[in-house]
Chain A
Amino acid sequence: MSSSNQKSYVPYHSPYDPCPPIGKKYYSTPPNLYMGFQPYNLPQYSPKEALQKGTLWPAFYDYYENPYERRR
């Protein structure tokens, strides 16, 4: 299933809010939210790669990076 693993929204910013607006707020929507029962015979990583990534299946892999740092 193809779906983006990150969503965002723009919180309302009042002219009287003391801090400059953060712009977008991000939240994760990892693949497990969309999968339901895991289908049979999904492609797999090699054992070594799976141990490194934390999952055997590319369909569940969700790399995370600080979204606020990336913007700057």
Chain B
Amino acid sequence: MWVYEKKLQYPVKVTSCNPTLAKYLIEQYGGADGELAAALRYLNQRYTIPDKVIGLLTDIGTEEFAHLEMIATMIYKLTKDATPEQLKAAGIADHYVNHDSALFYHNAAGVPFTASYIAAKGDPIADLYEDIAAEEKARATYQWIINMSDDPDLNDSLRFLREREIIHSQRFREAVEILKEERDRKIFF
């Protein structure tokens, strides 16, 4: 069960009317290393992982939905007042003819979301290594988007999200260490 707070995890502000940025951001919405894939991956793995790290997967999986909501807000703000001509110029005419300015779970190239983006091997180490890789890939994706974006306010929110990926990766790495055991002795190193 979840408790919903009716606010974003971090403010989303967009300075410029630049629908092209929405085209890039959709990668983090419905892409293979996007926030939806992350949330579904972690929450699904919880059932077949040692008790010690279930809570971590719940926490991070939940936070990914908060990130998804931020991405959705960014895309919405970037496209809500755009005319069909502007969307065409931004290279998202194909999205428009199918969805108008509605959001949809597909990647920057228009490939629809698929469950094969996520894995659940049932092996705790394999699954956590996948999670670490997913966080690093999401971090890299944020970097590439920041490199393409010249909107300072949007980049500020993206930097926050990138920092969270770093922390998540750290926690998954620690989870691996916990499952490798000898934890008690390591504390005193």
User: Which residues of A come within 8 Å of B, CB atoms?
Assistant: 28, 30-32, 35-38, 51-55, 60-66, 68-69
Contact = CB atoms under 8 A, between A and B. Distances in A.
Nearest to A57: B167
Contact of B166 (A30, A52, A66): A30
Contacts of B162: 54, 62, 64
A62 to B, nearest CB: 6
B147 A54 contact: no
Nearest to A31: B166
Nearest to B135: A32
Contact of B147 (A37, A52, A68): A68
Binding site secondary structure of chain B: helix
A44 to B, nearest CB: 13
Interface string B168-189: 0110011001000000001000
Interface in B60-114: none
Contact of B159 (A54, A60, A68): A54
27 contacts: A28-B140, A28-B143, A30-B166, A30-B169, A32-B166, A35-B170, A35-B173, A37-B174, A37-B186, A38-B170, A52-B160, A54-B159, A54-B161, A54-B163, A54-B164, A54-B167, A55-B164, A60-B163, A60-B166, A62-B163, A64-B143, A64-B146, A64-B159, A65-B146, A66-B146, A66-B147, A68-B147
Contacts of B161: 54
A67 to B, nearest CB: 8
Binding site secondary structure of chain A: loop
Nearest to A66: B147
B177 A55 contact: no
A54 B143 contact: no
Contacts of B177: 36-37
Contacts of B159: 54, 63-64
Interface string B137-169: 001101100110000000000011111101101
